[in-house]
Structure formats: structure tokens, C-alpha cells
């Protein structure tokens, strides 16, 4: 059986996760699935969706349904976007190129990690070649702020020139949260792969992630070497001043931080605890969403990620005020099972589940999804 031929039997995201676990070598699987320390936040991200119940409306004409919306003024065919995940070629040789093509065909946003194994220009080209511009959606570029600010500026300029449409600045990783599975496995990037966008700029790329490791995880060492733990709001204001692209701040979990993000000019706020991979014990992303939505009060768009695995989860996030929500690991599982076809399958499953949830809740459009649909 070919990889894509396996897909119809995988009828939900848990099936895909199990199939990916069967296929991936342990260090890669553990890198993708792990959370920080006891993984309590990883589990709570998922559990938070179960703490809400739905109050469906009846006798609404739902014969025509449309999940389309906009993010940062850009049309998307569904309110589900793809979060940045590093090192996608460990899952599938074409890695980020395959993800970009699937997102182009689905008409949604792919957020490209700074730690991509393919150069951003090639990823945008793959997205264009697969009909991205016609279908809606976009490539957004995720930036970690490096100690070397010239490198940051160069990456921002490259992202703009390549055709990326937003800068997603991740601020919950001043250091790397310890994923103990990676420590045990002495996680390292396979020899054949590199951090493509840092190759020329920093002369370090994959080598730095492969060097001898005092902490046990070479990724952790790499982060200690190049990311700036001294980052503050002033640096976000600086980025805002040099970036022609709108900024989405990723990793906000509090109302006061959300207000400051608006004050420094961020166009979007992504409520996220990095999929439970940074501070173990941090609040579940869905639980943090309402206070951020209230604090921002419509002055920026608010998104969330973490633990979303069902169409009803997506509907709950929208009901709590998210403009859209992201998936991280499910996209990696799809990629691991069947590359582009696998990511397409994941997006298709969630699209169908959202459609079902909208029909059964009496919501023909995304605009009909509101907080009245939820109770504890």
C-alpha cells in the first residue's frame, strides 16, 4: 500500500497520530510529541476543550454553510491555520514544501518556522506553484529574535521580499523548556538536514544543533547560543519599526501582556503555550483565551493554538472570541504519514468536522459562532 492509500482508513486526528508513531524513528517522534517536563500543560491544552459544553441552536436554516473568514484582512477558506513547527524534513523529505502545497490547496495560512529545513523562498514558491494566490491564505514567517539583530533584520527583509504576509514573533522561548524525552534521546538534527534560513546568515545552521551537547538536547544548546533571553517590549517596538509586515505576537497568556502587545502596535496576538513545550504548569491556551480577548477589545485579532484536535474544538475557540485557531502536531502527523497528501487529509478532516459542528449548532457562517453556544 502506498502512503496516500492508507489515508481513508485514518478517520480522525488520533488515527493519524497513531499511524505517524508507527512510522517515525523514536528521536523524531519524541521531538514532535513531547511537552516540557511532566507534560501537564500538554495534557491540559487538550483537556481544556472538554471543560466547555455546547448549547446548539435549533431550527436555523443550515442548508448552506461557509467556514470562510479573514485573518489580517486576508481571505482564508477556513478559520484553521497551520502553526510553525521546526524541522519538518525529519517527518517527510519534502518537509515544509509539502506543507506549503497542502496549505495552498486548502486556502489557508501556513506559518513557516525560522527553524525550517527548506529556505523560505523555496517554500513560498511551492505555495505559489500549488495555487496559493488563487485559493486565498498566505505564508506567514515565524521569527525567533536572535542576539544578532542584523540577522533578525535580514530575516525580516527576506521574508518580506519572498512574499510572506505577516511576521509571527514567538516570545515564550527566552530559553528552551526542557523536554525530557529529547534529553534522554540526546536529540540532534540528522546529518542530512540544515536550518536552511540561517545557513548563510549565521554560518551555523545544522552544525550548531549537531555539536557536542552539555544539556543532552542539542536543540536546547543551539537555542542558548543564538536566541536572546534579554528580549523585552522595547525589542518588539524595534521590530515593529523595521518590519514592513504586520506582527503577530505568539505565546501570550495574560491580559496585561496582550494590552502591551496592542500598545506596541501588534496586529495579532496568538494565545499559546507553545503546545505545552515551554513552561510546564502554564495555563491551558483555551483557558487563557477569554481574558486576552476581553483585554484586546477588538484592537487586534486574537488567535489560539494548543490541543485542538476536533472540529468542535475549533468551534469552541471561535465561540470564545478567536478569529482563527492553529494546529501544530496534527499537521506533523499528516506529513509523517503521507507528505502533502497527509497534510491535506488533516485539513480536510478538520474542515469536515467543523462543517458538521456548524450545522448541528445552527451556524451557517463563522459570524454566527458566538459565546452563547457555550457553557461550562
Instruction: Report the interface residues with ligand FMN, using CB under 6 A.
Output: 31-32, 45, 83-86, 113, 115, 142, 170, 250, 272, 274-275, 277, 305-308, 327-329, 332
Residue 101: CA atoms inside 13 Å, Cβ hemisphere, count?
14
C-beta of 10 vs 350, nearer to ligand FMN:
350
C-beta of 235 vs 368, nearer to ligand FMN:
235
Query: Which residue, 201, 206, 208, 203, is CA-closest to 222?
Result: 208
C-beta of 321 vs 330, nearer to ligand FMN:
330
Q: Which of 101, 105, 274, 310 is catalytic?
A: 274
C-beta of 50 vs 370, nearer to ligand FMN:
50
Q: In angstroms, what is the minimal distance from the CB of 2 to ligand FMN?
A: 25
Q: In angstroms, what is the minimal distance from the CB of 88 to ligand FMN?
A: 9
C-beta of 8 vs 283, nearer to ligand FMN:
283
C-beta of 229 vs 362, nearer to ligand FMN:
229
Q: Is 274 a catalytic residue?
A: yes
Do residues 373 and 134 lie in contact, with contact meaning Cβ atoms separated by under 8 Å?
A: no
Q: In angstroms, what is the minimal distance from the CB of 373 to ligand FMN?
A: 22
Residues 6+ apart with CB under 8 A from 362: 56, 57, 58, 59, 60, 62, 368
Residues 6+ apart with CB under 8 A from 192: none
Q: In angstroms, what is the minimal distance from the CB of 85 to ligand FMN?
A: 4
Q: How far apart are the C-alpha atoms of 216 and 259, rounded to whole Å?
A: 38
Q: What is the three-class DSSP state of 3?
A: coil
User: What's the DSSP call for residue 118?
Assistant: S
Q: In angstroms, what is the minimal distance from the CB of 368 to ligand FMN?
A: 25
Give me the helices (H) in the chain, please. 13-23, 26-33, 40-50, 95-106, 120-129, 132-135, 149-162, 180-185, 199-202, 205-210, 218-226, 233-242, 255-263, 285-296, 311-319, 329-361
Q: In angstroms, what is the minimal distance from the CB of 93 to ligand FMN?
A: 17
Calculate Rg over the CA atoms of the chain.
Answer: 19
Do residues 62 and 363 lie in contact, with contact meaning Cβ atoms separated by under 8 Å?
A: yes
Question: Nearest residue to ligand FMN, using CB?
Answer: 328
Q: How far apart are the C-alpha atoms of 112 and 109, rounded to whole Å?
A: 9
Q: How far apart are the C-alpha atoms of 76 and 216, rounded to whole Å?
A: 41
Do residues 361 and 30 lie in contact, with contact meaning Cβ atoms separated by under 8 Å?
A: no
Q: What is the three-class DSSP state of 270?
A: strand
Which residues are tagged catalytic? 274
Amino acid at each position: 500500500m502506498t502512503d496516500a492509500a492508507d489515508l481513508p482508513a485514518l478517520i480522525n486526528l488520533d488515527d493519524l497520530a497513531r499511524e505517524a508513531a508507527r512510522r517515525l524513528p523514536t528521536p523524531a517522534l519524541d521531538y514532535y510529541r513531547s511537552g516540557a517536563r511532566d507534560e501537564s500543560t500538554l495534557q491540559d491544552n487538550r483537556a481544556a476543550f472538554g471543560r466547555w459544553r455546547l448549547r446548539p441552536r435549533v431550527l436555523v436554516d443550515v442548508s448552506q454553510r461557509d467556514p470562510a473568514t479573514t485573518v489580517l484582512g486576508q481571505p482564508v477558506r477556513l478559520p484553521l491555520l497551520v502553526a510553525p513547527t521546526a524541522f519538518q524534513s525529519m517527518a517527510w523529505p519534502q518537509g515544509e514544501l509539502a506543507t506549503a502545497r497542502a496549505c495552498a490547496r486548502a486556502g489557508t495560512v501556513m506559518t513557516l518556522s525560522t527553524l525550517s529545513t527548506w529556505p523560505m523562498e523555496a517554500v513560498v514558491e511551492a505555495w505559489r506553484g500549488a495555487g496559493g494566490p488563487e485559493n486565498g491564505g498566505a505564508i506567514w514567517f515565524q521569527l525567533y529574535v536572535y542576539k544578532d539583530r542584523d540577522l533578525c533584520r535580514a530575516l525580516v527583509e527576506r521574508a518580506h521580499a519572498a512574499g510572506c504576509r505577516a511576521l509571527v514573533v514567538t516570545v515564550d522561548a527566552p530559553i528552551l523548556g526542557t523536554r525530557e524525552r529529547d534529553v534522554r534521546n540526546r536529540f540532534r538534527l540528522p546529518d542530512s538536514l540544515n536550518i536552511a534560513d540561517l545557513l548563510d546568515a549565521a554560518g551555523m545552521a545544522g552544525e550548531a544543533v549537531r555539536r557536542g551537547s552539555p544539556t543532552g538536547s542539542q536543540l536546547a544548546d543551539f537555542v542558548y547560543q543564538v536566541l536572546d533571553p534579554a528580549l523585552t517590549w522595547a525589542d518588539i517596538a524595534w521590530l515593529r519599526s523595521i518590519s514592513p509586515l504586520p506582527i503577530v505576537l505568539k505565546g501570550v497568556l495574560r491580559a496585561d501582556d496582550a494590552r502591551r502587545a496592542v500598545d506596541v502596535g501588534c496586529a495579532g496576538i496568538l494565545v499559546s503555550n507553545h503546545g505545552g513545550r515551554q513552561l510546564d504548569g502554564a495555563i491551558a491556551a483555551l483557558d487563557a483565551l477569554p481574558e486576552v480577548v476581553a483585554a484586546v477589545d477588538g484592537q487586534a485579532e486574537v488567535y489560539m493554538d494548543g490541543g485542538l484536535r476536533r472540529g468542535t474544538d475549533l468551534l469552541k475557540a471561535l465561540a470564545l472570541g478567536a478569529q482563527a485557531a492553529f494546529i501544530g502536531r496534527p499537521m506533523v502527523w499528516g506529513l509523517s504519514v503521507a507528505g502533502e497528501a497527509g497534510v491535506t487529509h488533516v485539513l480536510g478532516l478538520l474542515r469536515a468536522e467543523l462543517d458538521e459542528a456548524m450545522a448541528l449548532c445552527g451556524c451557517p457562517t463563522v459570524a454566527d459562532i458566538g459565546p452563547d453556544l457555550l457553557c461550562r
